[in-house]
Structure 1
Amino acid sequence: MGIRLYDERPEALLEAMLLIRAYEEKAAALQAESGTPGTCTAVGQEAAAVGVVAALGADELILTNHRSAGHLLARGADPGRLLAEVMGRRGGYCKGKSGSLHVSARELGVVLTSTIVGGELALATGVALAQKQLRRPGAVVCFFGDGAACEGRFHESLNLAALWGLPVLYVCENNEWQAFVHRRETMLAEGIAGWAGNYGIDHATVDGNDVEQVRAVAAAALESVRGRGRPFLLEARTYRLRGHFEPDDQAYVDTDELAAWRARDPLPRMEARLLASGRCDAGAITAMKAAVAAQVAAAHAFAIDSPYPALEELTTDVYA
């Protein structure tokens, strides 16, 4: 499977979100059932991932964070290879050596996944500088969370990107929670997009649970980045519906807040919109869900059949 490029069909956006949800729920279930290595899911944030990735061209590069499965799958990652990677199998994107927290997929333009909070912000600056100096087309897209926006490297990275005129689209998936700490415990501002203005960087805030709105605003932002060769910050306001890291009972989460955000779940929201518009009927959506379930089942079978790396591979692919 290679880079996925999206057409204008809104049902393609729903299909991508359904795949991400099914994949992440399967990964969480495997952890609970059999002790498969845990992972940081982004259940509830699918619209932010799909909306941005659907706006990308083939030349764009991606740097992402520890909640990376949605970005990878939206970009066209093979769910079997991705699950094999999480399970430490040789058939994974990095031969089982990265787990879920350090995946890179060169063929998809996914440069890296950083488990260091905000680590991808500093690295995106370097990648964008290389793109500019080598006169390569396409923007660099950097996904991070609101927790990373509280790190010093956020400000350092934006300052240099503005100063050097780098083609970076910064995407903050503001999901209200920074591991086990609520956003309101770490910042006074209600959002972070405005912070970019201090560096002369254009910015926008979007409903991160509306996939079509995210795609439209991301497309406009990318047009600005490509045309002007300057950074842009897009803040997608969303919410993760599962805990920080599997397993996690979310005992620290306010139940009323969680219920309010469940009512804004981006998947049934998009389903309802497609039904109301006549783009899809109930049978088509049911068939789409069945196809996605079969795809995830096949992915699990592939991962299980993939062997573990041999002992002699312990020091291969290691720089030093």
Structure 2
Amino acid sequence: MDISKPSQKKMESNIGKEVVTELLPLVRVYKDGSVERLSGSPFVPPSMEDPETGVSSKDITISSNPLIRARLFLPKLEESESNIKIPILVYYHGGGFLIESAFSADHHRFLNSLVSQAKIVAVSVEYRLPPENPLPAAYEDCWAALQWVSSFSSKYDNSAAIDEPWLNNHGDFERVFIGGDSAGANIAHNIAMRAGKENLHGGVKILGALLTHPYFWGSKPSASDQSIDYLVCSVWNFVYPNAPGGIDNPMINPLVDEAPSLEGLGCCRLLVSVAECDWLRDRGVWYSEAVKKSGWKGEVELTEIEGEDHAFQILRPGTKNANRLTKRLADFLSKK
């Protein structure tokens, strides 16, 4: 599998090609059908025992048609911990639905840190991206990945599934979490809503969901987002051009009147994280308040980091506030 970032030579080969459309500074689409991603961190390979955290990672294929891949993470376990079952986190990366990857250096580094602190098995899903695969393809891929993970539950006959020792030997299917950052947090919300209506293999239940700087929007403006409204609407129309209701589609605006009740969230715990200077901040606060008022029977928590912007824990790792937020997420995942 080639997970290298496009070379300068490859980028130079696009010079002179006719551009059909572009969404700067994210992507450019050419007449021959090729897509050039202009942003995002470089891809990195998995590693056995990361030198900083001791976390091991490997890449697997969940489905060949459609192609869905994932990067698995396993914390370093002492011999006395080798038989202990640990929580499972199915993680969906951010990137505006258009860029980034489960194999990106920034998300790989973040998950190494989170997995090490929380002592969890993580499955970071490489879902298909627009514009080659417009939404709702990413939502379908992420649901399929969660079902794949659930298939390793002892309560489900997974004899047809491939052997996956990290899940078989270490995963606690009584403590399954989903989560993501930005667009990945949007996906996690929609997966939790679907889990409230549809069963997972083996009767697996989602214990908790963590939504970090969730990518929600809508036609109703907030104080923090007016200056960026055009860009967000343009991105959504680009990634999901046929979305019923446009920017007020329930998948991007869970608070619109036509959206299903948040009472239907299919998990028991919810952690919403926002950042003070993030243009998505108000939407995340509104969402957490709406969940509390919906009649949902679970436990919802809202945490805010002052003085920070969108996805700072991914983009500026190792800072005091990035470490603070990562610890908050780890505590949520390891809470008994």
TM-score after normalising by structure 2? 0.32
Which is bigger in relative contact order (C-alpha 8 A, separation at least 6)? 1
Q: Which has the higher helix share?
A: 1
